[in-house]
Amino acid sequence: MTAEQIIFLITSAIILAGALMVVSARKLLHAALWLVVVLFGVAIFYAILQASFLAVVQVVVYIGAIAILFIFAVMLTRRELRDQGPQTHKNWWLPALIASMLLVSLVSIIQSLPKSGLTPPALAEDFDGVRSLGMALVTPDSFLFPFEAASILLLAALVGAVYIASSGEKKGRQK
Amino acid sequence: MTFADFLNNPIQFIGDWLTQVLTNWGLSDSLATILVYLVGITVLIVFAMVLDIGLVWVERKVVARFQDRLGPNRIGPFGIFQPFADIIKLVIKEDITPAGADKIIFNIAPVLAATSVIALWAILPLASSIFGTDLNVALLYVVAAGALGTLAIIMGGWSSNNKYALIGAFRMVANMVSYEVPMVIILLIPTILADSMSLQGIIEAQRGIWFALLSPLGFLIFFVCAIAELGRTPFDLVEAESELTAGFNVEYSGMKFGWFYASELLHAFTFGGFIAILFFGGYGGFFGLEKVSGFAWLTNPFIEAAVFIAKAMFGYWAIMWVKYTLPRIRIDHMLAFNWKFLVPLSLVVLVTTAILHKVLIVLPTWQYVLGMFASNLVIASGTIEILRAEGRKRDRFSVQPAKKQEQIS
């Protein structure tokens, strides 16, 4: 086993345990913090795969923004931060069925993969992932259109949020 | 391997020597490399923490100067051994965990706070040959490490089961999430100017001219955002002694409080270092002097490290200067200042810098520098004019009711 494989196995174990804790933790805030552990594990995966940009963005966006907003929302909205009720509902068997089917199909796909020759090809010495990603985002042949479409969507969301907030403020003043 | 080799590249020299010793003992090459890396990481962290002990003394001495006091002056010359007494006091203090606290999170929080700062040291280049690693996404890494610091403060504030601590944590989120926006925008300016996101690349690009001269407004906005990110006055709503007793760390005692305190000081110093790297040439930036014959010694790693520490200390001092001079601002003012002033201004500065950089780069260097500097002056004066007009408008509105009252009376 190489060092990469050892790190991969340890990280996977942590991610799986963390994901289990996300859905089973009694305290909502603990669940949110376990989610942070899971997201951090995924960032480690990206780092192992030499995708340094994705690894860092994973931490910035998912932990720095989304997980912190989750925690914030949980702290603001819930008076009692402990979930007292039963942790399953009466339709629990349906998602369990879907999940086990997904597991079976994934295992069968992994079984059909070749067992050897799975080491990734070495990257070129001067390979710059960030630069190639940036070039891909502004090249019309590759991702220029989806990139611009996503930007317009985000801009529309931004303008919409500002509009809703400001019109609410005006109404408040009129009263 | 001679003494000259050691002087020219000390870390490489010691690393090679250690690897050789370990392989001579019969360890395999890969195991020896891992061990040497572990030793390197430990040495880096120990260096940062020892520097931190010094920073406690520096901070206390400087705040004493600003407040017209003497500061610590009893233990050792100029009170230089005072931090050791402080540490002994913190270590032997009773370690209290509040009864209603969430014990695990309560104990992880100070560790995470220290981790988020020490993680920054992994990419901090002390000299051209003394650095942890040279990431090609270093600037984003800085933001990511800041996110972990926020998380530590939320965890500490929430798990203490104390309303003051929780309010401190809430304020921290509002503070960090908003001030991260102009900071990320401004971090793009060194990226554009240097054509690289790696800190080494940014420093190499400043061998000739500092980015602070090309984008003085960018530097100022980054400076403000750094202070906000650190949660220092005037943005210290997280701690706000007069309102929240001590904010998020009110329930912490002994060395757990010590970790929060130590990581705050080291964080401030590290951001002083980042200001030096991004806008003042880091360990280099002698305006091309090192190429002149007779000044080649400027590229010696020891000299570079000394220059970097001096520049970082100056940045740290400037942060302290602001901290001990300005009063705390109110939270609505803080958020309005960010969203209505810093974010639009940083966007304007970014777009102007990006366009002018491409247009002016073909000109001779002195015209390029002058053009960039002048564009910043134009933006700054335009901003001041807009603010003045806005201020007049507000004055008119606020004066009118007073006049009416006079008429009535």
Q: Tell whether B46 is covered by a domain.
A: yes
Residue among A3, A33, A60 whose CB faces B144 most closely = A60
Q: Are B118 and B48 in contact (CB under 8 A)?
A: yes
pLDDT at B260: 86
A3:B154 CB<8 A: no
Question: For residue A98, which amino acid is it?
Answer: I
Report chain A residues whose CB lies below 8 A from the CB of B150: 64, 68
Q: Is B130 helix (H, G, I), strand (E, B) or coil?
A: strand
Has residue B353 been placed in a domain?
no
Could you list the pLDDT tens digit for every one of the 409 residues in chain B?
577 777 777 777 788 888 888 888 877 777 788 888 888 889 888 988 888 888 888 888 888 888 888 888 888 788 888 888 888 888 888 888 888 777 888 888 899 888 989 988 888 888 877 787 788 888 888 888 888 888 888 888 888 878 888 888 888 878 888 888 899 899 999 988 888 888 888 888 888 888 888 888 989 999 999 888 887 778 877 777 777 777 788 788 888 888 888 888 888 899 999 999 988 888 877 777 777 777 777 777 888 888 888 999 998 999 888 888 888 888 888 888 888 889 999 999 999 988 888 888 888 888 888 888 888 888 889 988 888 888 888 776 665 555 555 555 5
Which of B41, B65, B88 lies at the terminal end of a domain, its last residue? B88
Tell me the pTM: 0.84
Q: According to the model, what pLDDT value does residue B197 have?
A: 84
Same domain (yes/no): B159, B81: no
pLDDT tops 80 at residue A1: no
pLDDT (tens digit, 9 = 90+) per residue, A60-84?
A: 888 888 888 888 787 777 666 566 6
A-to-B residue pairs, Cβ atoms closer than 8 angstroms: 66
Let me know whether B68 and B101 are in one domain: no
Residue carrying structure tokens 């005692």: B253
Q: Whole-angstrom Cα distance, residue B226 to residue B342?
A: 13
Note whether A71 contacts B180, CB cutoff 8 Å. Answer: no
- CB neighbours of B291 closer than 8 A, spacing ≥ 6? none
The encoded tokens of residue A162 equal 């500002």
Please judge whether A68 and B173 are an interchain contact, meaning their C-beta atoms are less than 8 angstroms apart. Answer: yes
Is B121 within 8 Å of B44 (Cβ atoms)? yes
Structural contact between residues A37 and A75, judged by C-beta atoms closer than 8 angstroms:
no
For residues B214 and B356, give the distance between their C-alpha atoms in angstroms, rounded to a whole number: 10
CA distance B13 to B236: 44
Tokens of B171: 């304020």
Angle between helices B103-121 and A28-48 (to 10 degrees): 30
Whether B84 and B20 share a structural domain = yes
Q: Is residue B11 part of a domain?
A: yes
Q: State residue A175's pLDDT score.
A: 45
| Residue where one domain finishes, among candidates B326, B346, B366 | B346
Q: Say which residue the tokens 């991610």 belong to.
A: A15
Quick one: B131 and B14 in the same domain?
A: no
Which of chain A's residues have a Cβ under 8 Å away from the Cβ of B181?
none
Neighbours of A130 (CB within 10 A): 19
Extract the tokens encoding B285. 């930036």
Cis peptide before B364 (omega within 30 of 0): no
Q: What is the pLDDT of residue A118?
A: 62
* Total of domains in chain B: 2
CA B356 vs. chain centroid, Å, equals 28
Contact A29 B158 (CB under 8 A): yes
* Tokens 């070749």 -> residue: A114
% of chain A at pLDDT higher than 90: 22
**Closest alpha carbon within chain A to B196:** A131
Whether B259 contacts B300, CB under 8 Å: no
In a domain, B166, yes or no: yes
Which positions ≥6 away from B196 have C-beta within 8 Å? B136, B202, B205
Q: Which of A36, A52, A67 sits opposite B135 (nearest CB)?
A: A52
Banded model confidence at residue A102, pLDDT cuts 50, 70, 90? very high
Asked if residue B151 is part of any domain, the answer here is yes
Which pLDDT does position A38 carry in this prediction? Answer: 92
Q: Which domain holds residue B262?
A: 93-346
Of B29, B55, B88, the one marking the end of a domain is B88
Chain A residue closest in CA terms to B151? A68
Q: Best interface-test mutation with A: which of B136, B141, B160, B166 has the largest number of A CBs within 10 A?
A: B136
**pLDDT for res B397:** 63
Same domain, B97 and B138: yes
Measured distance CA(B343)–CA(B162) in Å, rounded: 33
